[in-house]
Amino acid sequence: MTATDLTVHTHSALHFDKPFSCDSKLDDSFAKIDWQAPWLCHLNQLSYVSKTISRLSSSCQQVDTAAEHDNQADIAAPDIIAKVLNTAMLQQNNKSQQPSQTKPTPNNHAHRLRFVSQDALPEGEAYESFIATTGNIPTRDNLHDLFNGSIWLTFPKTKALLNYYHMCEIAKKGISTSRGRVRDTITVFDENGAVLVTTEPSIGEALIDFDWQASLITPRECWDNPQQISADDKNNAKAAVYIFGHALLEKLLQPRKPLCAHSVIIYVSAEFFKLKRSERIEYLDNQLAEYMHDLLSREDVTPRKLSPLPILGVPHFWAENANPSFYEDNQVFRSGRRQKV
């Protein structure tokens, strides 16, 4: 039996039919988001989220819809970012046959996801446990949680899978100062991960081998331009990078050459690059969830299984990398991991 065969439980009813008004605007940090940045193009519900956040960070206005809990719920009302994300999720679920939900564990049913105030997280309860047992994602009014919510909207199956493995590890080992290899790997990818999708094994192998010439420079013409995506037979792209780590998205508000993602590689057929962006992401979410399941099930899993990728070196992510000399910085584009002595 799979998660889709199970009844989805909701912690409380949500109503999205009334506008909510804010009594204070979002702080100025949200106004600094460049919503046209190439590393944001893949995010689901980008148009709605970007327009709404831009309005709320410039002036206090009403948002189109609301997220209100029913009178029987004792969950604190969501804050502004939670409300925006809930509305985006509702719009997304209305187009999907399968609403976003948690992955059930032996002791927990699947729960439909929603964003709630950080104050809803009971004192002393682990963040991951709260999500798994209620479907509620504690959310603060800050950039970090906005990007985290955006990744939940974009890769819901993979995020639910990572939460599932957190719960399995907590059930085995409890909460301690040391997370262990599995949870360390989850955390690194969740915060700082990226996915290289390619039809060419040579590009993926070169990335693993720190061969920047063969992965990023020589095949530059094969790389997909996220700002010029087209879903037709003329798209001959063979490689693309999609950011998964929400902390990495936050860091990219101030792009710096040394910023490095921890990546996994998903091999696809040429048909992938002929799909619409939304179709690509739905397919990729399924493939990535399977990949991470296999990786996290391995006895030798560690964060070192993730391949370093200087993110501004991705073709079309940064104008300066059009010049091959950009990659000559050996402090960023290193020849390999330092060997242990």
Q: How many CA atoms lie within 13 A of 37 on its CB side?
A: 21
Could you tell me which of 87, 147, 136 has the C-alpha nearest to residue 113? Answer: 136
User: Beta strand 14-15 with 68-69: parallel, antiparallel or unpaired?
Assistant: antiparallel
Interacting residues of 36 by C-beta distance below 8 A, sequence separation 6+: 227
Q: Report pLDDT for 59.
A: 52
Model pLDDT, residue 159 = 98
- How far is 335 from 126, CA to CA, in rounded Å? 39
Report if pTM > 0.85. yes
The Cα–Cα gap between 312 and 308 comes to: 12
Measured CA angle at 128 (ends 70, 75), to 5 deg: 15
pLDDT of residue 204: 98
Counting as low any pLDDT under 50, the low residues of the chain are 1-21, 23, 60-78, 338-341
DSSP 76: P
From the centroid of its chain, how far is CA 282? 13
Q: Quick one: pLDDT at residue 107?
A: 77
Q: What's residue 27's pLDDT?
A: 87
The predicted structure's pLDDT at residue 65: 42
| CA distance linking residue 205 with residue 213, whole number of Å | 12
Residue matched to tokens 């370093």: 308
Amino acid 230: pLDDT: 63
Picking from 193, 208, 294, 290, the residue whose alpha carbon sits closest to that of residue 249 is 193
